[in-house]
Amino acid sequence: MISPKIKVCGMRDADNIRELVKLTPDYIGFIFYEKSPRYVGRKIPAEILDAIPENIKKVGVFVNATEREMKNMITQNSLNVVQLHGNESPEMCQIIRMAGVQVIKAFPVDENFDFHSIRRYRENCDFYLFDTKTPQYGGSGKQFDWTLLDKHDFTKPVFLSGGIGLEDAEKIINLSNKDIKVVDINSRFELEPGVKDIEKVKKFIDIIRKK
């Protein structure tokens, strides 16, 4: 049985975030990809940043952004972690990591995904994230076959993402792959894009943490 940490992604509403931080998720994700319906803008409002305590890490999610853009966003928004959700190279991961943040490299997974292809990122990121492969970059509400992960030892902490709902909580804590350290929830906990159902999130967190 695993007890993963919790990342709640796609946040942007100040009042919603104030309620969320009472649940003490481990990570809060902000999407800096303009085509996302959860796009937070280039600068997170100060009222949002001020509402997040230091024990909750702020994650900036980027898709094929430039080095300059990401470094500016890291500084402007006091980010602790950067999630690279596009086709970023291992070299880009390392450059961003040297800016003083942890790096999550995301990979879109389907039944044909070559898990051996991620080995070249091993030395250049802190975490792998596995999401469902879709025409878009995340936020699809769809799951991939999690049993695909059971065949691999990643030697790297893993974020599990993609279509995770409240009904999946018990299944997650009983997953066999011990590299899964964080569960990433988003669209299936929303009232609308960027606004979470706090009571639903609370129920999920309570099950994961066995409260």
H helical segments located in the chain = 14-21, 46-49, 67-77, 90-97, 169-173, 198-208
Report which DSSP code applies to 111. T
- Per the structure block, which two tokens stand in for 156? 């790297």
Residues forming a β-bridge with 6: 183
- Per the structure block, which two tokens stand in for 64? 């094929």
Q: In this structure, are residues 196 and 11 in contact, taking their beta carbons and an 8 Å threshold?
A: yes
Report which DSSP code applies to 87. S
Question: d(Cα 156, Cα 93) in Å, to the nearest integer?
Answer: 15
φ and ψ at 57, to 5 degrees? -80, 135
Q: In this structure, are residues 47 and 14 in contact, taking their beta carbons and an 8 Å threshold?
A: yes
Catalytic sites, residue numbers: 9, 131
Q: Answer positive or negative: Cα dihedral of 4, 162, 204, 30.
A: positive
Report which DSSP code applies to 42. S
Q: What is the three-class DSSP state of 7?
A: strand
Block residue for tokens 């309570």: 206
